[in-house]
Amino acid sequence: MQNKKRLYASVLIWAAALGVLYLTRYYNYLFFYALTEMFSVAVAVAIFMLVWNVRRSLDNPYLLFVGVAYLFVGCLDLVHTLAYQGMGLFKQYEANLQTQLWIASRYLESLSLMLGSFFLGRRLKLEFVLVGCLGATALLLGTIFYWDVFPACFVEGVGPTAFKELSDYAIVLILAAAIAMLFNQSDQFDPVGLRFIGASIAFTILSELCFSFFMDVYGIPYFFGHFLKLISFYCIYKAIIELGMSKPFAVLFRNLKDSEDIFRRERDFISAVLSTAGALVVILDLEGRIVRFNRACERLTGYSFEEVKGRPFGDLFLIPEEVGPVQAVFGRLSMGQFPNEYENHWVARDGSRRRIMWSNTALAGSGGSVEHIICTGIDITERKRAEEALREAHDELERRVQERTAELVAANKQLAQQLAERRRAEEELREAEKKYRIVADNTYDWEWWRDPKGNFIYVSPSCKRITYHERDEFQGDPDLLFRIIHPEDQASFIRHQNDVEQAYSSGELEFRILRPDGSLRWLAHTCQPVFDDHGRLLGRRGSNRDITAHRAADDALRESEKQLRYLSSRLLTAQETERRRIAGALHDELGGALAVLKLRTRFIERNLQPGQTAIREECQWNLQYIDQIIDDVHRLSRDLSPSILEDIGLTPALGWLIDNFVRHYGIKAAPRIENVDHLLSRDDQIMIFRTFQEALTNIGKHAQAGNVVIEVRRVEDRISLFVEDDGRGFDMEELSAKKVSEKGLGLAAMNERARMLGGSLSLRSEQGKGTRIALSIPLRKGEKR
């Protein structure tokens, strides 16, 4: 409603102004003529002044060209006005002069409106336009005033010449072409401004057609021609000056606004990617202060971006011993030595430490100097812990092998040879790991961004090093990614992409790719969907790390552990064999020798003279001592290899072991032993017996218990065994925190025997509440009777 009122008011005002202007024609025709022409001159000069003052920011070359040209059109119109009959400035000239100036001015105006369209989308040099327009204007004025070669346009008493009439139609055609060319590139203009420019050219055409019919400078066509020219200049005033002042970004700086919108969308997209990335992303300035800190960093450290923004990263997250090396890396990055990979610890708000693998690079400014450091990290804490655990297990197994080899002299040569081979293999493995580390320190991840349709928006140059394909190949052929994935991994990759988009998975996957030369590479892939504020999918970000060497190293470590377990099994078997040999030697050789010694001592006693009392007492004492030695030898022989275990089986042997335990330590025992001898091989019975022997020995020495419960029974297809005491117990967390080398060999030996049996050993204890050791063994195929 308000716009309609404003429109009606504007129409009334213009109707009144045109009416007054029309009446001035009857009062003083010269005054009417001067008013219309000076209005045109004023508009032309105003257009030039507006365009000139915004020339450095104006991004529409058409308006810039036309604005400069209109200054000279206004100059010609001003001279044309002063040359009008009655002004008295050019008395020696007749009506032909003002008609010549009119035609010159209209040619300059029409050609400017048409030629301006050629400069759309091009860079315009303003000085060339000024020089060109100035030269054209000077040339036109020179042909009229100095050389007097400009064709005659009006002859007194005859009227307009043929040149003037042809010029009118030529100007109309040029203006018509200008309209067509202008509307053909309408996307370069504000719609309202374009309509006003089109209207201005249309009224100029009508004005020129009116002038083509005039016979004298005071006639009706001449009057209406000026009237239409006034409306034409008003329209150009509305298009450039009024709209340019009220809507500068729509008229004068249209492309600038479009560029700002594109920049804003790209900035929002990059911000969304950084915020949702699964990897850690930190951006630092050259002073080491935090500029960006994505959500993954917030989750890992416990700090929000607002808390760390602008603070030096070294004061927040680094441990003291790593401050120097990290600052050295930062210094190299600041000097342009990038990209770079590095590992260090980060300390979170709660004091916990996390090991981070960083891929660092720098962002250079337009001058080539470094402006920001971009750090992308992956938390490898758990992987490092797993590697450390494997190394500790490896070291512990090797130590146990060395200790056992010292006890088993007979197997020493064979084991020494195997250990030497093992050391050589480890040295080769360490050398391979060293080479891999050198390679890994100089490799970088393959990053990509894809739109919702799967097209690649961005592919990092590292793709060529990993896949042997140029990144342009991926951007030109989105299906290339699926063609290089190993056929066995394609289904899991597609399922992984869908699960990540619907938040069903963590975004991590390992898969293989096929290079053009037929080689395979393993990649560790992480990806995250990127959504806008309305939940619409903007694309997916993927990060791929070549882990082929890591997988090979893991396979080597597993094979090493398998070999060490085989050696451990051989050691336990050799140990039992050596125990039986020593037990037999003690029982047969040493026991027989002591029996002979006893018989000879008794013979000496019987052949003593009645008066040799002292020697007789010494012989009796020696006979008692020999009996004691014989009992100790028999006990040692039974401990090393109880004959009852081989003679009548596991169940009686366990009964004998429990009786000796009760008699020796004075601890009450409650055995509930089911006969399972027929379900176990002799070697299995020996390992079970040794496990019970180790458990009861530990209870007798350390538990300070009063009662022990022992149970052996069959449960479906397994044999369940446990020993439980009511002693002082111990702290399980404290035991778990100890290194493998600090836990002692007893528990390790029981665990190893459980593995050899194919079963599992569990330990449960609490301070002041006793200890329970449970062994569960599956029945082997053919033993389930």
pLDDT digits (tens, 9 = 90+) for 39-67: 888 888 888 888 888 877 677 888 889 88
Q: Which of 37-46, 65-74, 221-230 has the lowest mean pLDDT?
A: 221-230
The pLDDT value recorded for residue 253 is: 46
**CB proximity list for 556: less than 8 A, separation 6 or greater:** 429, 432
Task: Give dist(CA 527, CA 447) in Å, integer.
Answer: 10
Report, as an integer, the average pLDDT of 291-304.
Answer: 82
Average pLDDT (71-78) is 90
Determine contact, residues 719/777, Cβ cutoff 8 Å.
yes
Nearest to 704 by CA among 613, 624, 767, 620: 767
Q: Is the peptide bond prior to 516 cis by the omega test (within 30 degrees of 0)?
A: no
What is the per-residue pLDDT for 107?
Answer: 92
Return all residues near 509 (Cβ < 8 A) that are at least 6 apart.
492, 493, 496, 524, 525, 526
E strand spans, 473-614: 508-514, 520-531, 537-546
Q: What is the mean pLDDT of the chain?
A: 75
**pLDDT for residue 407:** 66
pLDDT at site 431: 59
- Structure token digits, residue 602: 């008794």
Residue 173 binned pLDDT confidence (cut-offs 50, 70, 90): very high
Helix, strand, or coil (residue 531): strand
Percent of the chain topping pLDDT 90? 5
Taking a C-beta distance cutoff of 8 angstroms, is the pair 356, 343 a contact?
yes
CA quadruple 141, 146, 151, 155: dihedral sign: positive
Nearest to 553 by CA among 392, 424, 396, 426: 426
Whole-angstrom Cα distance, residue 710 to residue 667?
Answer: 13
Name the residue with tokens 């100097």: 369
Of 139, 137, 78, 70, the closest CA to residue 110 belongs to 70
- Is the model's pLDDT at 434 over the cut of 60? no
On the question of pLDDT at 571 being above 50, the answer is yes
Please name the helix (run of DSSP H) or strand (run of DSSP E) that holds residue 715, with its range, or none: strand 707-715
746 or 374, higher pLDDT = 374
pLDDT tier at 110 (50, 70, 90 boundaries)?
A: very high
Token representation of residue 172: 């109309």
Helix, strand, coil shares of the chain, percent, nearest 5, are 65, 15, 20
Q: 668: which residues sit within 8 A by CB, 6+ positions away?
A: 662, 706, 707, 708
Q: What is the pLDDT of residue 563?
A: 59
Amino acid identity, position 591: G
Burial of 535 (0-12, 13-18, 19+ CB in 10 A): exposed
Q: 86 pLDDT exceeds 80?
A: no
**By mean pLDDT, which of 214-223, 284-293, 471-480, 744-753 is the weakest?**
214-223
Q: Which of 138-147, 336-345, 626-635 has the highest mean pLDDT?
A: 138-147
Mean pLDDT (whole number) for 199-221: 76
Confidence check: pLDDT of 690 > 60: yes
Report the range of poorest mean pLDDT among 117-131, 396-410, 664-678. Answer: 396-410
pLDDT tens column, 229-272: 888 888 888 888 877 666 654 444 455 455 455 445 555 555 55
Q: Is the pLDDT of residue 138 over 80?
A: yes
Distance between CA atoms of residues 670 and 724, nearest Å: 10
pLDDT band for position 429 (50/70/90)? Answer: very low
Helix-helix angle 548-584:381-407, to 10 degrees = 30
The span from the CA of 154 to the CA of 161, in Å, is 5
Average of per-residue pLDDT across 714-738: 80
- Give the pLDDT band of residue 26 (cuts 50, 70, 90): low
Name 514's bridge partners: 520
pTM tops 0.85, yes or no = no
Listed ranges 260-264, 268-272, 591-595, 722-726; the one with the highest mean pLDDT: 722-726
